[in-house]
């Protein structure tokens, strides 16, 4: 059987997945998930837990704390293979202490914001204190971003809003998730703002999306993530495998950029993993 490209090219391994979630069903699937990840060469993964069952757009403080505890448990059970984000709903009064607690945990290497980024009046002000702390501590912030047909969710940021926040906090490292949804527009919105990175995860594997991101942002600002559990690891890696860019750029996307941004490692040889 002639099936060469169902096999991953050798250059792909190792892979750093900087955007993943444990199953919201909480049925002990983490082992299976890590095994599936390893089949495609993912040896490092940063997880955020956004809740149990259906994810709430504006989770309570208690729900956020419990979600984070689950991530800290995973990270402590699988050190070196898994890392964590501390997740917050920035509208909570206790956000700073949740962040402080989280960032003190071994293996927590970033902050995650999802779709609770605005207050009741639709202002992004609650995010300011998160970015101030992130800027002070030099901790990257992964922010979900979309540009939905018919309008975003109440607390969901658009790529343009992320660009504006990044201009306000120029020393903060912000990762715009999902290339901003509509990748052509999302990438353009952040292109001039150099402290914004973009991850390619979660959407379908749109032909040309990675090439476009590399062309507009440079490979150094493009990060690999999967959005698993909700996506197949392999289908997300195919975005990079199929992209018509240099192999050196693919390695930056698949590994180097995340090791540098989240772990502070300048260059890591594949033999070390």
Partner 1 sequence: MIVDFCVYIGDWPTYELPYRDADGLLHLMDRCAIDMACVSLAGGMFRYDARDANECLCRLAQGHTDRLRLIGTVNPLVPTWREDVQDGIERLGLAGYRIHPTYHGYELAAPPVLELAKLLAGVNRPLFIALAVDEERFQHPAIRVSEVDVGEIATFTSRVPDTTLVLNGFKTAQVHELFEMGEALDRVVLDINAMDQDFEGLRTLVERYGVERLVYGSQMPFLYPEAALMVAGYSGLPEKEIEAILSGNWRSSPVLSGLQQD
Kindly list the residues in this chain that would bind partner 1 in the complex (CB under 8 A): 1-8, 32-33, 36-37, 39-40, 146-150, 181-182, 184, 203-208, 211, 226, 228-239, 241-243
Place of tokens 């898994």: 82
Report in angstroms how near the CB of residue 149 gets to partner 1 at its nearest.
5
C-alpha to C-alpha distance for 14 and 10, rounded to whole angstroms: 9
Report in angstroms how near the CB of residue 34 gets to partner 1 at its nearest.
10
Which pairing describes strands 196-199 and 222-223: parallel, antiparallel, or unpaired? Answer: parallel
Joined tokens for residue 264: 């502070």
Q: Can you give the three-state secondary structure of 36-102, one letter per residue? A: HHHHCCEEEEEECCCCCCCCCCCCCHHHHHHHHHHHHHHHHHCECCEEEEEECCCCCCCHHHHHHHH
Q: DSSP letter at 204?
A: -
Report in angstroms how near the CB of residue 218 gets to partner 1 at its nearest.
19
Q: Pick between residue 238 and residue 273 the one whose CB is nearest to partner 1.
A: 238
Report in angstroms how near the CB of residue 147 gets to partner 1 at its nearest.
8
Q: Pick between residue 4 and residue 264 the one whose CB is nearest to partner 1.
A: 4
Contact of 94 with 62, CB cutoff 8 Å: no
Report in angstroms how near the CB of residue 101 gets to partner 1 at its nearest.
29
Report in angstroms how near the CB of residue 251 gets to partner 1 at its nearest.
17
Q: Pick between residue 99 and residue 213 the one whose CB is nearest to partner 1.
A: 213
Q: Pick between residue 37 and residue 217 the one whose CB is nearest to partner 1.
A: 37
Q: Pick between residue 51 and residue 202 the one whose CB is nearest to partner 1.
A: 202
Angle at alpha carbon of residue 229, lines to 227 and 230, rounded to 5°: 70
C-alpha to C-alpha distance for 212 and 243, rounded to whole angstroms: 9
Q: DSSP letter at 253?
A: I
Q: Pick between residue 111 and residue 243 the one whose CB is nearest to partner 1.
A: 243
């Amino acid at each position: 059987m002639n099936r060469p490209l169902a096999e991953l090219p050798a250059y792909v391994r190792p892979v750093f997945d900087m955007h993943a979630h444990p199953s919201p069903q909480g049925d002990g699937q983490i082992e299976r998930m890590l095994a599936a990840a390893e089949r495609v060469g993912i040896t490092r993964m940063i997880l955020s837990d956004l809740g149990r069952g259906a994810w709430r757009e504006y989770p309570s403080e208690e729900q956020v704390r419990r979600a984070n505890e689950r991530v800290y448990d995973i990270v402590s059970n699988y050190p070196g293979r898994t890392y964590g984000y501390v997740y917050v709903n920035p509208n909570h009064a206790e956000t700073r202490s949740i962040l402080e607690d989280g960032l003190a945990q071994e293996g927590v290497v970033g902050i995650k914001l999802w779709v609770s980024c605005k207050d009741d009046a639709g202002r992004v002000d609650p995010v300011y204190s998160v970015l101030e702390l992130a800027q002070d501590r030099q901790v990257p912030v992964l922010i979900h971003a979309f540009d939905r047909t018919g309008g975003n969710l109440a607390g969901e940021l658009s790529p343009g809003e992320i660009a504006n926040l990044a201009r306000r906090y120029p020393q903060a490292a912000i990762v715009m998730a999902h290339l901003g949804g509509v990748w052509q527009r999302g990438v353009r919105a952040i292109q001039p703002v150099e402290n914004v990175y973009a991850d390619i995860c979660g959407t379908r594997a749109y032909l040309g999306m990675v090439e476009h991101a590399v062309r507009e942002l440079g490979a150094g600002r493009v990060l690999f993530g999967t959005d698993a559990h909700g996506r197949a690891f392999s289908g997300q890696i195919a975005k990079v495998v199929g992209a018509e860019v240099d192999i050196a750029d693919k390695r930056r996307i698949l590994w180097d950029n995340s090791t540098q941004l989240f772990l502070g490692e300048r260059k890591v040889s594949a033999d070390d993993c």
